[in-house]
């Protein structure tokens, strides 16, 4: 489920009705500085798509009719998620968009989730401000590998955060362990030596003191 605090609700947004002309849309986009805005139906409840400034400029440069309705250049009409959507489905749906429309339980326009808000949430989850080092550990994609690596690290300290990456769906995973702020350089090196001794490869060490 999407965290409601991440969603910009409809009342706080600049939207346009489907009856607006391209010229009216361009005026709004230029005045607000937005690259695109949501288009809603006449009732203001149903999401129709997005109108982009660049598409209007292109249309205008080709001497296109600026009195046409915005629906003539509508984009992303099928790009929306439900407020009850799982996080990972939202993450992949938004990846190529500045924002994605969010619909409520009745499939009515509820608001938008922006790329920036999602990235800020992920950055907060990284715990950069509460960490000392991030160790990138290569582990074979086999049962118990992640648990064993974590077990060796917790001999020395707690683990602040863990992210597992699967590059190119290979047989190995890159696991990023964030160590707490009280871990100094000496303890970090002892952790790395222990992991290496147990067959894990530490490919990168990021010092968060320098971040």
Kindly state whether residues 142 and 66 are assigned to the same domain.
no
Segment 152-166 mean pLDDT: 89
**Which has more pLDDT, 180 or 140?**
180
Report the C-alpha gap between 183 and 194 in whole angstroms: 15
In degrees, to the nearest 5, what angle opens at C-alpha 108 toward C-alphas 101 and 38?
35
Contacts of 6 by beta carbon, 8 Å cutoff, 6+ apart: 113, 117, 118, 121
pLDDT band for position 169 (cuts 50, 70, 90): low
| Last residue within a domain, chosen from 121, 155, 189 | 121
CATH code for position 203: 3.30.70.260
Q: Give per-residue burial for 165-187: e unless 16+ CB within 10 Å, then b.
A: eeeeeeeebbbbbbbeeebeeee
Kindly state whether residues 199 and 145 are assigned to the same domain.
yes
Kindly state whether residues 167 and 182 are assigned to the same domain.
yes
**What's the domain range around 8?**
4-121
Kindly state whether residues 109 and 12 are assigned to the same domain.
yes
| Last residue within a domain, chosen from 93, 121, 149 | 121
**Which has more pLDDT, 32 or 127?**
32
């Amino acid at each position: 489920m999407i965290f409601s605090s991440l969603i910009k609700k409809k009342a706080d947004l600049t939207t346009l009705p489907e009856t607006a002309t391209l010229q009216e849309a361009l005026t709004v986009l230029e005045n607000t500085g937005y690259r695109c805005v949501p288009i809603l139906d006449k009732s203001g409840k149903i999401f129709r798509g997005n109108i982009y400034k660049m598409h209007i400029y292109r249309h205008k440069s080709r001497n296109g009719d600026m009195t046409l309705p915005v629906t003539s250049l509508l984009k992303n009409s099928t790009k929306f998620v439900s407020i009850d959507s799982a996080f990972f489905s939202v993450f992949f749906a938004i990846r190529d968009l500045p924002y994605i429309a969010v619909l409520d339980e009745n499939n009515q326009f509820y608001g938008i989730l922006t790329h920036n808000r999602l990235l800020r949430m992920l950055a907060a989850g990284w715990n950069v401000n509460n960490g000392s080092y991030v160790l990138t550990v290569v582990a074979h994609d086999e049962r118990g590998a992640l648990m064993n690596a974590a077990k060796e690290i917790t001999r020395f300290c707690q683990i602040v955060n863990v992210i597992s990456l699967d590059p190119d769906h290979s047989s190995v995973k890159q696991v990023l362990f964030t160590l707490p702020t009280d871990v100094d350089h000496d303890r970090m090196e002892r952790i790395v030596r222990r992991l290496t001794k147990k067959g894990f490869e530490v490919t990168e060490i990021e010092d968060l003191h320098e971040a």
